[in-house]
Structure 1
């Protein structure tokens, strides 16, 4: 008996008032949750494709990864995860932080090696999108763990600091998730250009960071470590953007596959052959 038939039979017999009593009730609840999540990702099929915003159009395309793009992701993982984040995590300090981050670091490094040898196809292009999102999420989590390690070396187990850091991290992620689940699918929304101050901030950011570091490093080690904890927390929040964006893009493409097949792959199959 299929899952749909089981759920139909369950509805006819009795309502699921307690989802923990029978496997069928649990299955019905799980199916309802998946349906609700799919509804959040799915676009309105009655709206013509040309009426969707440019952001939605870009989000419906799984980019074909070139050799250069694969090498960029390889260097990204080596530089930002293994060297800048991994080395401080494995050097000295409490081992609990190393234990938390090690499985994720190993997993992404193995996944990166696999991705380097994948040939281009629709399935592999979509897989590369998921890989980029997962890499961004893992880098983000590892930087958050590293920020807590630096704070722990100075403050010890400080519940107020750790809970406020975690709350900040969660709020940033929830804001990004809200943008991609609610704001992005709104086809009536007008696209806004990036504000000029944002461009200036990204341009001046490295210089400001360097000057602040030179000023901070004149103080004691405790002040330096606390400053580095804030820096790594900011990096964790920044890299969470890439994780949320590309993981959402993967599921967004999967949920709207019928629209993609009908409009973007009209007359050709997904590998580009007629």
Structure 2
């Protein structure tokens, strides 16, 4: 379900998580986000993905990588106010491509660096990957399948709770990550090193699959509920500067 109940007609009384799902990415930071996600996060997998060369990996990944890089360059050049919907779609598609590339890299690491040759491993790991991806997609539909109106007081409480827990998961994650890295360095083993690399790629693949599910659902959710969508508009200073340069902002 991506269409909100017709009885709900007040954006401010929607739950906070729904308000956020109906909001665009910050136009002031979107170029930086696209550049980092494409030319750092995605390109991180390019070299190990393409070397040593495996023809089938070349045929699958190179067209995907070229496509997403060209799209990223287009968005970096275009006016951010005229590509607000397109940027959401880009992040979703980027997540799909990135998740696939990192999953292929996982399998390549398992084969070449960890020496896993059992066909059953590759069958089971692929099934698990598809299952996890399906769960992430289903979660997005479930999360927005039943939305009720909320009073302003409940919305305020929800925002306070969101703010207090904003960095909780990050704080918990760092000690665990530090412990893992220290244990790996102490062992100084190739197997340990490639195992860490394997799980790092696995984490990135799952995270990108999550963003793919989230932003593709967000894109279609907003398209289906245009009456609640609020486009970001340029400031007066930006408008004056655009007029002086003979440019025109197109909001869409």
2:217 to 248, 258, 261: 248
Cα shift readout 1:214-258 (whole Å, capped 9, x = no counterpart): 145x22x4554344323312220112111111111111111112x
Other-structure match for 1:260: 228
Moved more, 146-155 or 109-118: 146-155
- Higher RCO, Cα 8 Å, sep 6+: 2
Cα separation, 2, equivalents of 1:142 and 1:256 = 32
Other-structure match for 1:163: 123
Bigger-Rg structure (1/2): 1
* 1:137-152 aligned within 5 A: 137-152=96-111
TM-score (norm. length: structure 1): 0.70
Moved more, 84-93 or 42-51: 42-51
Assess if the C-alpha contact under 8 Å between 1:143 and 1:235 holds in 2: yes
Assess if the C-alpha contact under 8 Å between 2:102 and 2:202 holds in 1: yes
Cα distance 1:166–1:201, how it changes in 2: closer, same or farther (>3 A)? farther
TM-score (norm. length: structure 2): 0.75
1:59 to 13, 18, 21: 21
Cα distance 1:138–1:212, how it changes in 2: closer, same or farther (>3 A)? farther
Post-superposition offset of 1:43 = 0.9
- Tell me the secondary structure at the aligned position of residue 186 of structure 1: coil
Assess if the C-alpha contact under 8 Å between 2:5 and 2:147 holds in 1: no
Cα separation, 2, equivalents of 1:116 and 1:195 = 29
Q: Aligned pair count?
A: 221
Assess if the C-alpha contact under 8 Å between 1:65 and 1:128 holds in 2: no
Cα separation, 1, equivalents of 2:72 and 2:110 = 30
Assess if the C-alpha contact under 8 Å between 1:89 and 1:97 holds in 2: yes
Cα separation, 2, equivalents of 1:59 and 1:239 = 18
- Tell me the secondary structure at the aligned position of residue 116 of structure 1: helix
Assess if the C-alpha contact under 8 Å between 2:95 and 2:210 holds in 1: yes
Assess if the C-alpha contact under 8 Å between 1:136 and 1:243 holds in 2: yes
2:41 to 53, 64, 80: 80
Other-structure match for 1:177: 137
Other-structure match for 1:7: none
- Tell me the secondary structure at the aligned position of residue 44 of structure 1: coil
1:108 to 68, 77, 94: 68
Other-structure match for 2:2: 41
- Tell me the secondary structure at the aligned position of residue 63 of structure 1: coil
Other-structure match for 1:202: 173
- Tell me the secondary structure at the aligned position of residue 84 of structure 2: helix
Post-superposition offset of 1:271 = 6.0
CA RMSD, aligned part only?
Answer: 2.8
